[in-house]
Amino acid sequence: MRIGELAGELGLNPRTIRYYEGIGLLPEPERTGGNYRAYSRADAERLRFIKAAQRLGLTLDEIREVLAFAERGEPPCGFVRERLRREVAAIDARIAELQALRGELAGLEARAGRLPPPAEGEYCPLVHVNQDPGRARPAAARRAALRMEPHL
C-alpha cells in the first residue's frame, strides 16, 4: 500500500510516516517500479503500535527501546510497565497541580464581586490581588508543566 493510503487508514500525516522511517522507528519500505514506497500490513501494525504507545505517554525514544526488545526476542513488558508507572505518577502530579490551581481560581472568582472596578488606565484588580511574587513563579511553572508536547 502507498503512503497516502497508509496515512489515511491510520489517521497519520505522510510526513509523520517518513519521519518515523528517518529516525528508524519504521524500516524503510520496499519501492515500486515507479519508486513509490510500498508498505506492508506489518508496517501498518508497527505504526498502530507506535500510535498506541504514544497515547499511553511513551516517548519516541522509549518506543524505539520497546521495539528493540521485541526485535531481540526479549519481552519488553517490564520496561513498559516501569514507563507506565512513571506516567501515572506524572499524571497524579498534574492532577494535584490542577486541583490547586482550580482552588486558587475559584477563590479569586468568589472575591471578584467584592473588589472595586479598576480605575481608568489600571489593569484588572483580580490579577493584582493575586500578585504575590512567591506565587507567580509556581503558577507559571504549573502552566508550563501542563503544556504537553503533541505526540507525532
Q: What is the pLDDT of residues 12-41, one digit of tens each?
A: 999 999 999 999 999 999 999 999 999 999
Percent of the chain with pLDDT strictly greater than 70:
84
**CATH number for 25:** 1.10.1660.10
Look at residue 69 and tell me if it is in a domain: no
Look at residue 60 and tell me if it is in a domain: no
Look at residue 14 and tell me if it is in a domain: yes
Question: How confident is the model at residue 147, as a pLDDT?
Answer: 52
Model confidence pLDDT, tens digit, residues 110-150: 988 888 888 888 888 778 766 655 554 455 554 555 454 44
Look at residue 115 and tell me if it is in a domain: yes
Number of domains in the chain: 2
Q: What is the phi/psi pair of residue 89, to 5°?
A: -60, -40
Look at residue 142 and tell me if it is in a domain: yes
In terms of pLDDT, which residue wins out, 151 or 86? 86
**Which residues constitute the domain of residue 13?**
3-55
Cell numbers for 151: 505526540
| pLDDT band of 49, cuts 50, 70, 90 | very high
Asked which of 6-10, 62-66, 118-122 is least confident by mean pLDDT, the reply is 118-122
pTM for this prediction: 0.67
Alpha-carbon span 57 to 95, nearest angstrom? 16
